[in-house]
Amino acid sequence: MIFNTPLFFLFFAIFILFYGFAFLRQKPKVYLILVGSLIFYGAWNYRFIPLLVGSGVADYFIALAIANATTQSKKKWLVTLSLVINLGILGLFKYADFVLYSVADFLLLFNYQASLPVLEWVLPVGISFYTFQSLSYTIDVYRGDMKPRKGLVEFVAALSFFPQLVAGPILRARQILPQMHKIALPTWQTAKHGILLITVGLIKKTGADLLAIPAQKAFEAKEAISDIELWTGVIAFAGQIYGDFSGYTDMAIGLALLLGFQIPLNFRVPYFALSPVDFWRRWHISLSSWLRDYLYFSLGGNRTGHRTRNVFITMLLGGLWHGAAWTFVAWGAFHGAIITATHYFAGLKFFESFNSKNNVGIKILKWFITFYLVLIGWVLFRAADIDTAIQMLIDMHTFSSTVEGDKTARVLFVIVIFWIAITHIVDYFILKGSEKFENKKWLFWSTMIFAHILCLFIGEPSDEFIYFQF
Amino acid sequence: MSSSISNSKPEDSVMNQTKSQEFESDYIASQQRRVYLKISLALFLVMATALASVRLFTYLNEASAEGIMGRVVEARKALPKIVKEEKDLVMMFGSSMVGAGFSPRQFDQQAKELGKDVKSFNFGFGGLNPFFQDYLSRRIQEAFQAENRKMKLVIIEFNPFQASQTRWNGAVPIVDSFLTMLATDKELFEIALNDPERGALLFNIKYLRNDISAEMITSFFGREMFPPKRAKRFDEPQELLDKRRELGNELNELFEKEYPDFEDARWHYGWQGGGTIPEERSERTIQVFKEYYETFQDDSMKKNRRLRRIESSGIESLHFEPLLVESFIRIVENFKPVAERVEIVMMPRDFKWINYTPEAQARLDQAVMQIEKATSLKINNHQLLDKITSDMYRDVTHLTKYAGDVTYTHHLVEEFAEHL
């Protein structure tokens, strides 16, 4: 079930009817959230419900056992069990075939034709999100960062909470469990903010679907295209993935607000970033902070003198988290490399003084370099394979296309840039505080209606959220 | 105040506490109802206003099933009457090529000359590929089965380029809308059972959006804003274009003169879904038609029409869309229970201008074999009929009135007379 579909609207209308008017007390509400979330998930594929519930139940009891364990070695054994279960599920469903195919390709280098038993299993939607979420709970309990909470239903309801179930943000147990234990009543002010976020999310998703057209043209070129169309396509993909993912997150946060839950931000105007490090503080914050807290720090972080290695490993695995393909690994490696380079340059005396200057020109230059590097990364991310990505990068920089860009291509280029800028400016103002706007009744509601009209008029050439596949 | 508290009994205190908790709980419940009432109303009103604006837009632009596929709607409405016709029934079903190339009243006249008293109907519709035709053929089947009636003969056109991938890709934005226009609620419900998300979307389009999907609106405006790239066109002689416009205007005037009582219809029952016939027209009209079609015989015009067909349908490469070939097989199966005899034809092709590559021919042979195997019927290949010459096409696919259609209808009578 996707948020921007009539089926979800119907589902949510029925859900609100029970949630807001019939199930008025705490416990029944938690049960309702659990049932609603499982229906939401089951609408996609009910066969994977046991997997979702199973991993939650396992981690719930493992966390209790960790808390009750008397020795550190037993605790270690238990947290390892949780890691094996969660990463095992993820590995089996998401990476098994990738590993087997890669092994077969490697053996082929030595002229050995291996016939390996690939699984070809369907990837359960949102598996990367909920396994990481569940895992963070047992690790937090193991580290003593939180005490295990009693209430299996509350835990599974929190894990499967439908607004964020299939595409995040990845919530920590300590963020969601206390809220699930005492569900708050939304105020009219938070409800309006929720409606604003849902609407902005819908608009972003609708725009992203349109950006998919020039992006597809560039990345899946069936015919020769002009240089400007190639660049437009790459920039359009940057806009598409941002609109798609942050739009979904906005809707998730908005829906949660309507239900009385606060979900933390997942994006903070990422394309305004002034360095690759800054970019990762603004892009998919819940994943980057998860990787920082549970992987980077576990590897030793900055302390062991292996910062470069640790950054690189973290980004490499972060890339692989996005999908089982070498393009994602390359994307992660690329970001690892540019973050390392940023750290290196930041340490040089010349760049120290360069950085300290609060000069608009320097900021623009830093923004430009960062955005350019992010675009290069998106080519690796979106291309069908590494060879295609390299060829695209060569074509982008040699301007060697024999096809001339026409007026339509130039107009489209400007529209794509304009759309990315607009979505960022809107997000920036929401970040700064949208209360004043929300309290201007006529302006607020007429804007909401206009935005929904726009969404109902624009169809979806692609009806999937990109991040669902992760 | 403090004394009253200290003097109260312990059980009173418990009772007061319970009452206070109940009061607090009731207060929260009422607050909750109030805030969710506001939320529900807000969501409902925003969505309702947005949907109303879509309906207003479709109303103002005459975007509806009638406006978009008026000929199909009118033909469907005529079905109950057709089913009750006393004479043996013949139907030719297919694309706009059938619409232009089959003259039912002439078919009947010629059949009568052979002693066969039948009434035939033209069910050729532009813009419907086999996926949509499948649904339309189900509606025809239902109408005939409801009256327990069978047709004497059904001739189904297999149009290769209508089943191409290019054609299908072009139709993607309209699939949902057309489906809601042609499918029954039961069929939509079956889709919903398999895919609830799509089912809900289709019901939403049908009942809340007046059959007009967002994709249809987007593609309509998108094509205006960003027209698809076309191959360079050949310049058509201006004097020929001017002459065509002049003759076209004259034909309109002659029509109004000769048919003063004609009520606007895209599928006319009196004409059995076909057009006018030469016997009804004046000599002058026939002459103007001849001159009018001559203006289409210019090479540059033909080349442009050919390019258009290549771009819109892949007419010479014929990469078949499996879904459309399967849909065509279902069409044949849909007609079998309501026809004594079903024939499949491939209509004439302007082979002076449209020529398949060897690979395309192989793919066509393969598709034909698949259809023949699945339906147990032999396809009558009329693509290379000698009697249909290139000047009998008004473009490179549709036959001309009073020449192409007459010749081809004659051919059909000759070929299928024994089955009437």
For B217-220, the CB contacts below 8 A with 24+ separation are: B217/A457, B217/A458, B217/A459, B217/B57, B218/A210, B218/A457, B218/A458, B218/A459, B218/B173, B219/A459, B219/B173, B219/B174
> Tell me: the pLDDT tens digits for B250-294?
999 999 998 888 887 889 999 999 988 988 899 999 999 999 999
**Interchain CB contacts (distance < 8 Å): A and B:** 107
Domain range spanning residue A51?
Answer: 6-183
Residue B37: list chain A partners with CB under 8 A. Answer: 20-21
Q: What is the pLDDT of residue B213?
A: 85
Asked if B57's CB is within 8 angstroms of A9's CB, the reply is no
Residue A463 has pLDDT above 50, yes or no: no
Among chain A residues, the shortest Cα distance to B26 is held by: A24
Q: Provide mean pLDDT across the span A269-289.
A: 93
Domain final residue, candidates A164, A183, A202: A183
A424 is known as an active-site residue: no
The residue with tokens 């000929």 is B71
Tell me, what's the ipTM?
0.81
| A4 phi/psi in degrees, rounded to 5 | -90, 40
Chain A hits for B310, CB-CB cut-off 8 Å, are none
- Say whether residue B114 is in contact with chain A using an 8 A CB cutoff: no
Residues A198 and A167 in one domain: no
Report the residue of chain B nearest A405, measured CA to CA: B229
Query: Which residues on chain B are in Cβ contact (under 8 Å) with A43?
Result: 196-197
Interchain pair B39, A20: CB under 8 A: yes
DSSP B391: G
Contact B57 A24 (CB under 8 A): no
Q: Do B200 and A5 touch (CB under 8 A)?
A: yes
Give the integer Cα–Cα distance in Å for B250 and A210: 45
Q: Is the pLDDT at A221 greater than 80, yes or no?
A: no
Q: What is the pLDDT of residue B61?
A: 79
Residue A172: which of A219, A206, A138, A142 has the closest Cα? A138
The tens digit of pLDDT for each residue in A66-78 reads 999 988 999 999 9
Decide if A14 is inside a domain. Answer: yes
In-domain check, residue A100: yes
Best probe of the A interface among B25, B51, B53, by most A CBs < 10 A, is B53
Contact A371, A365 (CB under 8 A): no
Q: Which helix (H) or strand (E) holds B379?
A: strand B379-381
User: Taking CB atoms and an 8 Å limit, are B38 and A191 in contact across chains?
Assistant: yes
Together in a domain, A156 and A272? no
Across the interface, of B29, B47, B216, the residue whose CB is closest to A452 is B47
Contact B216 A6 (CB under 8 A): no
Instruction: Say if residue A284 is in the same domain as residue A146.
Output: no
The amino acid that residue A150 corresponds to is K
Q: Where are the domains of chain B?
A: 2-60, 70-233+299-419
Bridge partners of B344, per DSSP, are B156, B379
Are residues B49 and A24, on separate chains, in Cβ contact within 8 Å?
Answer: no
Same domain? For A178 and A193 the reply is no
Interface check for B216 against chain A (CB to CB < 8 A): the answer is: yes
Nearest C-alpha of chain A: how many angstroms from B67? Answer: 19
Q: Determine, for residues B216 and A459 on separate chains, whether the beta-carbon distance falls below 8 Å.
A: yes
- Which of A51-55, A306-310, B126-130 bottoms out in mean pLDDT, i.e. has the lowest? A306-310
| Calpha distance B259→B276 (Å, rounded) | 10
Same domain, A46 and A176: yes
The pLDDT score that the predictor gives to residue B20 is 66
Q: Do B46 and A21 touch (CB under 8 A)?
A: no
What integer pLDDT is reported at residue B6 of this predicted model? 46
pLDDT at residue B31, as a whole number = 82
pLDDT at B227: 67
Most B CBs within 10 Å, among A24, A217, A464, to test the B interface: A24
Structural domain includes residue A1: no
CB A125 within 8 A of CB A160: no
Q: Give residues with Cβ within 8 angstroms of A232, minimum separation 6.
A: A214, A218, A409, A412, A413, A416
pLDDT over 70 for what percent of chain A? 96
Strand order in the sheet with B379-381: B118-124, B88-94, B153-157, B342-346, B379-381
Q: Are residues A146 and A102 in the same domain?
A: yes
Q: Is residue A397 part of a domain?
A: yes
Asked if residues A161 and A177 have their Cβ atoms less than 8 Å apart, the reply is no
Amino acid at site A15:
F
* Position A286 pLDDT exceeds 50: yes
Nearest chain B CA: its distance from A14 CA (Å): 10
Amino acid at B291: E
Rounded Cα–Cα distance for residues A176 and A180 (Å): 6
Q: Give chain B positions within 8 Å (CB) of A185.
A: 28, 31-32, 35
Give the H/E segment covering residue A379.
helix A360-382
The pLDDT score that the predictor gives to residue B5 is: 43
Cβ B50–A187 below 8 Å, yes or no?
no
In a domain, A20, yes or no: yes
Domain assignment present for residue A72? The answer is yes
| Segment A107-164, tens digit of pLDDT | 888 877 777 777 677 777 788 888 999 999 999 999 999 899 889 999 999 999 999 9
Residues of chain B where predicted confidence (pLDDT) is lower than 50 = 1-6
User: Is CATH 3.40.50.1110 the right assignment for the domain spanning B70-233+299-419?
Assistant: yes
* Cα Dmax for chain B: 117
Mean pLDDT value across chain A: 88
Please, which residues 273-312 of chain B have a Cβ atom closer than 8 Å to chain A?
A: none
Give residue A468's pLDDT.
52
pLDDT score at B8: 54
**If pLDDT is split at 50, 70 and 90, which confidence band does A357 have?**
low
CB contact, 8 Å: B133 with chain A?
Answer: no
Domain boundary among A183, A200, A221: A183
Residues of B in contact with A166 (CB under 8 A): none
- Residue A53 pLDDT more than 50? yes
How many Cα atoms are found within 13 Å in the side-chain-facing hemisphere of A448?
Answer: 25
Question: Which is the catalytic residue, given A284, A322, A335, A424?
Answer: A322
Q: Select the residue from B26, B35, B206 to test the A interface by mutation, using most A Cβ atoms within 10 A.
A: B35
Answer whether residue A250 shows pLDDT above 60: yes
Is residue A26 predicted with pLDDT exceeding 60?
Answer: yes
How far apart CA B275 and CA B185 sit, in angstroms, is: 33
Residues of A in contact with B53 (CB under 8 A): 453, 456
Interface test with B, best of A18, A452, A464 (most B CBs within 10 A): A452
Local confidence band at A278 (pLDDT 50, 70, 90 cut-offs): very high
Q: Which of A442, A444, A449 to mutate against chain B (most B CBs within 10 Å)? A: A449
Domain stop point among A129, A154, A183: A183
Residues A244 and A363 in one domain: yes
Which range, A110-114, A255-259, A354-358, is most confident? A255-259
Is residue A458, in this structure, part of any structural domain at all?
A: yes
**Angle at the Cα of B356 from the Cα atoms of B351 and B357, rounded to 5 degrees:** 145
Asked if residues A267 and A284 have their Cβ atoms less than 8 Å apart, the reply is: yes
Do A256 and A158 lie in a common domain? no
Q: A interface toward B at CB cutoff 8 Å?
A: 1-2, 5-7, 9-10, 13, 16-17, 19-21, 24-25, 43, 185-188, 191-192, 195, 210, 258, 408, 412, 445, 448-449, 452-453, 455-461
Q: B214–A452: do the CB atoms touch at under 8 Å?
A: no
Interchain CB contact of B54 with A (< 8 Å): yes
Cβ distance of A448 and B200 shorter than 8 Å = no
* Candidate from A5, A43, A185 with C-beta closest to B35: A185
H or E element in which residue B154 lies? strand B153-157
Min CA distance, B74 vs chain A (Å)? 28
A237, A131: one domain: no
**Number of domains, chain A:** 2
Residue of B nearest to A462 (CA): B215
Q: Are residues A319 and A460 in the same domain?
A: yes
Secondary structure percentages of chain A, helix, strand, coil, to 5 = 75, 0, 25
Cβ pair A6:B204 closer than 8 A: yes
